[in-house]
Amino acid sequence: MFQRIGPAAFKKDLGNTLALCAHLGQPQQKFPSIHIAGTNGKGSTAHMLSAIFTAAGFKTGLYTSPHYRDFRERIKINGELIPKRDVIAFVEANRAFAEQLQPSFFEWTVGLAFDYFAKEKVDIAIIETGLGGRLDSTNVITPIVSVITNIGYDHQNMLGDTLPLIAGEKAGIIKPGVPVVVGESHPETQAVFLEKAKVLGSPIYFANQHFAATPKRANDTHVFYDVFQNGKLRFSNLELNHLGDFQQKNLATVLQTMEIVAHMFPKLKELSIRTGLANLKKLSNFMGRWEFISQSPRVLCDSAHNEDGIRLAMLAIGKIPHQKLHFVFGTVSDKSPMKVLAMLPADARYYFAKANIPRGLDAVLLAQQAAGLGLQGKAYPSVRRALAAAKQSAGPNDLIFVGGSIFVVAEVI
C-alpha cells in the first residue's frame, strides 16, 4: 500500500489494472466519468464536483485517495461509503484471480471502485488519480472531460524533477477528442498541455483564463465568493463549505468543468451548483482539509504536504487572527522535508510527531532537521501526545495547526 510504505508499492504499469478490468467485465466502460489529476487540489475539486452532481439529483460515484480513518472513504456514492458487505463480497468473488494476478493495493481498490459503480448504475463517477496520471491505475477510463488542477513539485522520484516532466505525466490522462480543463496556466507547463491536446484533438480550457473567484467574507465553515467569467460577474455571493482562500483556484476549475459538461446533464442548473457547494461536506462526506476541529484554543487541520500546498497554507494562516502559533507537525520519510520546513514560521512553537505508519519520518530526526533551520520544538512519541502538549501550552486566543502529512491529520480528526 503506497500510503504506508511509499514508492516500493507503486507499479508503473497499467497491465494489472487492464487485466483486472477485463476479468470484471470492463466495468469502467459502463458509466460516464470525470477524471482528475494534478499536484494539489485534486481531492477538493473531486468532492466539489461530486456534491454538485448529487445536489442535482444524480447518482454520483466518487473515487479518491488516500483515506483518513476508514478504507471505505475512497469509494462513495452520494457521499455514502461503500458498504462493508460489498467490499467483502468483491474480495471473496475475485480472490482466486487476484492471487494469480498479484495486483497492488491501489490496483485492487480501483477494480473494486469501478465494479461497485457499474453494479450500482451510477449516473456519473468522479475519479481522482492516485499518483501522476499516465501510468496511474485509474487511467483505463475514457472520461467525458479530463481535469488537471495544477502542477507543482511532489513525488519527483517517480514523476520527474522538473515541472514540464511532471506535467507530461499528468497530461497522460488526456484522451483523444475528450475536452481537458487545466486549472492554472503556468509558463513552464502550458506548452506541454497545449501540445498534448493538439496531438490528440482534445479541446483545452485553462480555467484561470476564464474564471476568477474573489473571496468576500468567511466564517468558520463557509467562504462567500463573487465569481467572474471572462470579466463579467457570473455568480454573486457563491457560498462554499470549504475554507482557505486558495480554494478560489479549485473553484474556478470546478466551474470551468461544469461549463463543459452542463449540456450533457440538463438537470445541472445554477441552483445545483449553489446547493452543492454550500453543502459540500454533507453531500460528499468531505473531511480533513482546512478544518477547525476545536475552539479555545482553535485547532486547525490541513493535509497540505508538498511545497505548493504548504506555501498556500502558510499564507492563509497569516490571515487568521491569533496570539501565538503552535505547530503539530510530521511528515513522511521518503521525501526530504527541508524545503517544506524552510517555509514554516520561525516564531511558532513546534511539536514534532511521527504518524503511525511505517513510512512516517522519525520525530526526533525531524526535530533535529527543523532545529537546523531555526524552528524550535520537541519530539513526541505520537501525534495525539503532541496535540495534547500543544493544547496544554496554548492560550485561549492561540492557534494550533496540525499538518505536514495527511497521516498526521488522520490521527486527530
Considering the four listed CATH numbers 2.40.50.100, 3.30.830.10, 3.90.190.20, 3.40.50.720, the one that applies to the domain covering 291-410 is 3.90.190.20
Write out the chain in H/E/C secondary structure. Answer: CHHHHCHHHCCCCCHHHHHHHHHCCCHHHCCCEEEEECCCCHHHHHHHHHHHHHHCCCCEEEECCCCCCCHHHHEEECCEECCHHHHHHHHHHHHHHHHHHCCCHHHHHHHHHHHHHHHCCCCEEEEECCCCCCCCCCCCCCCCEEEECCCCCCCHHHHCCCHHHHHHHHHHHCCCCCCEEECCCCCCCHHHHHHHHHHHCCCEEEHHHCEEEEEEEECCCCEEEEEEECCEEEEEEEEECCCCCCHHHHHHHHHHHHHHHHHHCCCCCHHHHHHHHHCHHHHHCCCCCCEEEECCCEEEECCCCCHHHHHHHHHHHCCCCCCCEEEEECCECCCCCHHHHCCCCCCCEEEEECCCCCCECCHHHHHHHHHCCCCCEEEECCHHHHHHHHHHHCCCCCEEEEECCHHHHHCCC
Where are the chain's structural domains?
A: 2-284, 291-410
For 117-155, what is each residue's pLDDT tens digit? 999 999 999 999 987 789 999 999 999 999 999 887 654
- Least confident interval from 7-11, 161-165, 305-309: 7-11
pLDDT (0 to 100) of residue 252:
97
Does position 157 have pLDDT exceeding 60, yes or no? no
Mean pLDDT of the 148-165 span: 72
For 73-107, what is each residue's pLDDT tens digit? 999 999 999 999 999 999 999 999 999 999 999 99
Does position 160 have pLDDT exceeding 70, yes or no? no
For 48-66, what is each residue's pLDDT tens digit? 999 999 999 999 999 999 8
pLDDT (0 to 100) of residue 308:
78
pLDDT (0 to 100) of residue 337:
83
The CATH architecture assigned to 2-284 reads 3-Layer(aba) Sandwich (3.40)
Q: Say what the pTM is.
A: 0.89
Does position 185 have pLDDT exceeding 70, yes or no? yes
pLDDT (0 to 100) of residue 304:
81
For 247-306, what is each residue's pLDDT tens digit? 999 999 999 999 999 999 999 999 999 999 999 999 999 988 888 998 889 999 988 877
pLDDT (0 to 100) of residue 330:
94
At 27, list the grid cell. 466495468
What share of the chain in percent tops pLDDT 90? Answer: 73
Does position 11 have pLDDT exceeding 70, yes or no? no
* Structure-model confidence comparison of residues 172 and 357, the more confident one: 172
Mean pLDDT of the 147-165 span: 73
